[in-house]
Structure 1
């Protein structure tokens, strides 16, 4: 199984447009043209698109906002700047109505030099592939000219962030976190002010790291990709739990009081089991991706919960949730969507729901972690020069079938192309770690020989 053919888009990857800030397509002229195309494509019935602009703490955020605003204004639209905000915060603002689109200026968990444009429709949902292709065509096929610089074109409206904070506070019972010592790693990113405010309002004693952004230290040895710092902090300060966000706080990973990782699969299990037991899991199912470990599928099955698998990317998780009419879905990486509360992954909300679910049960978080035994899983990235369909390839296809035969029903093979890099990701999973490693290296070698650069 897996996404084994390349996605036929030219600017957008699996999560918006992403590049080194200043390099094409994140150079000012192209960003202005993107603003024009977005405003034209998503203009409301009144004829002028009202586009909400938010950003994380990268030093390139302000000039990218200005370029984007100039493009929106040139198309007759109204750019509205809400300042530094989380990606789910921007999506929440859109859901309140009165706007036609939104763009989050962020490269999520990437280093500060990168940035990106994540576009949303009026409902706070990331644009579908068809709309992204239309916008690409407008930009790349000659339909949109660079309107040039137009400083001061956006209107500031930062008060909506307070409304978003109140929305999060209302997600669980007031004072629910009384007596808990919670460590937050805000990745020197968009959650720096919002997350501590929310957890303190709910009664927690909050200790923080990664809350001093300088424009260049976002995700630097901190946040959800660098849990080792949080784990040590939790152990040293005797915290009950630690939560780590990424730069735009659309994902959350946790550590228990012993410093052990609680990944997105574990979060889905803990929160999904609680919803099921409380009769609040429609369809008795939830959504994960093709990369989620098989232990999750087994343990959910024992709880009477069916696991639906989507392609990697929280937009595809959400699509499957809509199609199957489910309320919970997410990824190993910590993008978790609680559809009753949000239209995208929300790291702060995820942390709240995780703690709330643990408090409602009869096990501590570390006791739950004790009971989780993931299947051995090996992921190898292979750099490639082209992206053909892998299973129909004359050499690679039979090699894949051979590996699957060797696993003999005790494991699985997932192949997928990166949406942002010239890579194919080779993932194998099974009960025997030595066999899994051996077969993964064998298959990666075949792909490297046939497609590698």
Structure 2
């Protein structure tokens, strides 16, 4: 059964829309509460942790979620503004019944969303989300008033995350490093700078003043121009950019070159292979990662195990197979020994530590990944009819895959969080990739204009 409300990473959309408003979130929280309470059986835990990013709509949605939880006899506890990976660590430490993170990740400030996190720090499976949607249909309207009186553990959760990260590395790890941090005016504002300074770095912080309205606006991991300019202007050794809830990472080297998720995964996995510390000699990545990542690992005696798009699928596969490194090209990266959630700051520290240990630049770490030429395009859509039901596009897609064979890849999927179709082509030459993409775009536009 397909999901109606949940997408790739929770429920997300414009605040005030049909899926992101106080009334809907109150009912959704109540349904989630019923699901986890029934799953817990005899466990008496009633606390549910609530985290959020810096969006203006966050406090109102937090109040709505709290009302929904109280409706089903649970005790909401506020963690305030906190990165998603910090919420996951708080769950691992304290074992609440579950947690809710209010964030639309890298989306604009006008959007918001809701993610569900288990007591073990992992996100839910598709089947579990379908079950919650069924319970949601049974929920009646919940009056949302000023709930007041929420226990606030935000300061403690923030301190625990900060100390947990700092404790993994030597206090002088970044001594002599100048590091630029773009916090996207989001949940990591101030926090990432504190941890980097604790480890000896001279920190230059940008997009570090959240006001509710500027989160992800021309800053953060989706807009790295400011990060690159600041790294060059300040002569920094490194830079890093978060998204709104700091589970995504983009790294910048001293030259201004950007390291995306594929480059970071390649560097960490190759080092682990050299140290015989990569279980199964396996890196877990999604179908969006460049084919060059597979070739890179194969040359070193490793392999890439692919999952559908979404960091929770990566995490599920890592847990099932006992794998330690995984992620997405978009920058959702998981080091399982550190956090079951994608953790932008935690992974950045691991990459910086690797560069320091080897005595090389970030650019040198990334140089072993040789990418296949690739082109991508995002097509806005009004609706999302099944792709296999689009006759012209289906023929074009099959033809493209036959044409490329083992020398390239074609990906076509609807976004799970936005109204668009994402197309991606990799080939041995840029010309071939561009040609195949153009053919797919023409076919998609022809079919979708009639959908």
TM class by smaller structure: over 0.9
- Shift in Å, 1:385: 5.5
Name which of 254, 265, 278 aligns with 2:251: 254
Name which of 150, 154, 163 aligns with 1:154: 150
- Gaps in structure 1 of 5+ consecutive residues: 1-6
Name which of 48, 52, 55 aligns with 2:49: 52
Q: What residue in structure 1 maps to residue 354 of structure 2?
A: 357
* Aligned counterparts of 2:442 and 2:305: Cα–Cα separation in 1: 31
Superposed, which structure 2 residues align to 1:427-446 within 5 Å? Answer: 427-446=424-443
Work out whether residues 287 and 330 of structure 1, in 8 Å CA contact, stay in contact via their aligned partners in 2: yes
Q: What residue in structure 1 maps to residue 216 of structure 2?
A: 219
Q: What residue in structure 1 maps to residue 104 of structure 2?
A: 107
Superposed, which structure 2 residues align to 1:134-283 within 5 Å? Answer: 134-139=131-136, 141-158=137-154, 159-283=156-280
Work out whether residues 89 and 121 of structure 2, in 8 Å CA contact, stay in contact via their aligned partners in 1: yes
Deviations 1:244-264 (A, max 9, x none): 111110011111101111110
- Shift in Å, 1:383: 3.9
Asked if 1:320 corresponds to 2:317, the answer is yes
Q: What residue in structure 2 maps to residue 4 of structure 1?
A: none
- Shift in Å, 1:304: 1.3
Comparing 32-41 and 404-413, the one that deviates more: 404-413
Name which of 32, 36, 39 aligns with 1:42: 36
Tell me: CA distance 1:275–1:409, structure 2 relative to 1, closer, same or farther (3 Å): closer
* Aligned counterparts of 1:61 and 1:262: Cα–Cα separation in 2: 31
Instruction: Give the superposed CA RMSD.
Output: 1.8
Q: What residue in structure 1 maps to residue 408 of structure 2?
A: 411
Deviations 1:117-146 (A, max 9, x none): 11111111111111211211222x234432
Aligned residues: 446
* Aligned counterparts of 1:29 and 1:127: Cα–Cα separation in 2: 22
* Aligned counterparts of 1:370 and 1:160: Cα–Cα separation in 2: 37
Q: What residue in structure 1 maps to residue 287 of structure 2?
A: 290
Name which of 95, 98, 110 aligns with 1:98: 95
* Aligned counterparts of 1:142 and 1:207: Cα–Cα separation in 2: 50
- Shift in Å, 1:435: 1.6
Q: What residue in structure 2 maps to residue 3 of structure 1?
A: none
Comparing 12-21 and 166-175, the one that deviates more: 166-175
- Shift in Å, 1:68: 0.6
Comparing 185-194 and 370-379, the one that deviates more: 370-379
Deviations 1:377-405 (A, max 9, x none): 11122344554553575443332221123
SS in structure 1 at match of 2:251: strand
TM-score for both structures, normalised by structure 2: 0.94
SS in structure 1 at match of 2:406: coil
- Gaps in structure 2 of 5+ consecutive residues: none
TM-score for both structures, normalised by structure 1: 0.94
- Shift in Å, 1:55: 0.8
Work out whether residues 411 and 429 of structure 1, in 8 Å CA contact, stay in contact via their aligned partners in 2: yes
Q: What residue in structure 2 maps to residue 18 of structure 1?
A: 12
SS in structure 2 at match of 1:42: helix
Superposed, which structure 2 residues align to 1:372-451 within 5 Å? Answer: 372-384=369-381, 387=384, 389-391=386-388, 394-451=391-448
* Aligned counterparts of 2:208 and 2:71: Cα–Cα separation in 1: 36
Deviations 1:298-322 (A, max 9, x none): 1111111111111111001111112
Comparing 350-359 and 149-158, the one that deviates more: 149-158
